[in-house]
Amino acid sequence: MIRLFVLLFSFSVSVLAGTFPPDKVDELVATSLPLLEEYLARNPQKNCTPETAVRRKEWGDLSKQERRDYTDAVLCLQSKPALMSSSFAPGARTRFDDYVVIHMVQTERNHDSSFFLPWHRYYLWHYENALRTECGYSGYQPYWDWGRYAANPLDSPLFNGDEFSLSGNGEPVPHRGITVPGAPAPWDVIPPGEGGGCVTTGPFKNMTVNLGPRLQLALDVEPNPQKDGLGYNPRCLRRDINKNAATVTTTSHIYDLITQNTNAYWFQTVLEGQFAEGKWGVHAGGHFTVSGDPGGDFYVSPGDPVFYLHHAQIDRVWWIWQMQNLTQRLFEISKTRTMGNNPPSPNGTLDDLTNLGILAGDVEVRDLMSTMGGLDGRLCYMYE
């Protein structure tokens, strides 16, 4: 009887939400919302309430028109001149490139450190704002729920290559797999997918990648004229959509990450991957599901537009994790101020400052912890 009810219930929800029935992570969101409302009632956050908060949606739940509006806005950002000075970054040609440069020059501060989650939250929000204010986009930043498509990412509304996707795979070019630093065999190499060449379908088929590469990739890519990757190096967007990497981003992986890690240290550690133990984690897993150039480059990865949907899902998973115990987790950070604590540094604190270079000035990490009222109420969003 209960089973029948659950079946009927999920059936009716799936009809409402389109073709994707709620999975067990979506159910965690549903059960958390009353806790969030109760917390906000006790701790009001700058006029941000579930009624006023905007909703970031999953790509597959957007209508075709909404998907097209999003990619049009990204193409618009790619058509506007950079703010970044060309003496600082000769490869920064467009407003889209400005964001790539900011990520490149701050990579070693904002990964495997106390800044990782809050900084990327700030970065995404700023990019979403640029799409809206500079390119007339009226929606919000969509996310990519890896779990929905982990079995076959190529056959997804993100990567199927149609005009409503984020463009598809690269042309087939034989290439080696991805080396995972420090991982023991057989996890030291992610076997390659069937792409690797230039993307030839969908909205980004004509896109020019200007910056990078910074790292040695598995692909044959023209090296950047500058060692720091900031030189001008125009080339096609390459991808290798890789289901071998997606195996670590299933809904079960996401669910376990959220429910089995009860402090910020372990939550972030498992999310970012424990390479020495052969665990890639959902962060690297998602990046390497797209891979290619610049998607597979730790520094330059925001140069593939899918980056922002991947990191929106990272931000969503953090948000869901925070909601499981807001009293403890809303303002809980971990790790030190330097990547991998190298060189050694003190534990990060909520008073630490972080910025987006020329795009946005210093804010306290504390101001980035809540999507419901952070940045003096300018952060006010939820994920569906």
Which residue intervals of the chain are DSSP H helices?
2-17, 24-42, 64-77, 95-106, 116-135, 146-149, 243-246, 251-260, 264-272, 281-290, 307-323, 326-329
CA distances from 287 to 240, 357, 377 (A): 11, 24, 31
Q: Which is closer to ligand NAG, CB of 126 or CB of 235?
A: 235
Residues 6+ apart with CB under 8 A from 48: 40, 372, 373, 377, 379, 380
Q: Is 349 in the site for ligand NAG (CB under 6 A)?
A: no
For tokens 């023209």, name the residue: 222
Q: What values do phi and psi take at 70, rounded to 5?
A: -65, -50
Which residue from 127, 166, 120 is spatially nearest to 304, judged by alpha carbons? 166
Residue (114 or 313) nearer to ligand NAG, CB? 114
C-alpha triplet 328, 342, 288: angle, nearest 5°: 75
Residue 12 makes contact with ligand NAG by CB under 6 A? no
Q: Which is nearer to ligand NAG, 284 or 323 (CB)?
A: 323
Q: How far is the CB of 376 from ligand NAG (least distance, A)?
A: 27
DSSP three-state, residue 53: coil
How far apart CA 209 and CA 291 sit, in angstroms, is: 14
Quote the least distance from Cβ 263 to ligand NAG, whole Å. Answer: 7
Which is it for strands 189-190 and 381-383: parallel, antiparallel or unpaired? unpaired
Q: Which stretch binds ligand NAG (CB under 6 A): 268-276, 285-293, 302-310, 326-334?
A: 326-334
| Cβ proximity to ligand NAG, 207 vs 230, nearer residue | 207
Interaction between residue 200 and ligand NAG (CB under 6 A): no
Q: Of 244 and 325, which has the nearer Cβ to ligand NAG?
A: 325
Buried b (16+ CB within 10 A) or exposed e, 299-321: bbbbbbbbbbbbbbbbbbbbbbb
Q: Is 203 in the site for ligand NAG (CB under 6 A)?
A: yes
DSSP string, 369-383: S-TBTTGGGT-BEEE
Nearest CB to ligand NAG, comparing residues 103 and 329: 329
Contact range with ligand NAG by CB under 6 A, out of 97-105, 154-162, 289-297, 320-328: 320-328
Q: Applying CB under 6 A, does 347 fall inside the site for ligand NAG?
A: yes
Shortest distance in whole angstroms from residue 347 CB to ligand NAG: 4
- Rule CB under 6 A: say whether 327 interacts with ligand NAG: yes
x/- letters, 249..288, toward ligand NAG (CB under 6 A): ----------------x-----------------------
Is 328 a binding residue for ligand NAG by CB under 6 A? The answer is: yes
Residues binding ligand NAG (CB under 6 A) = 203, 205-206, 265, 325, 327-328, 334, 347
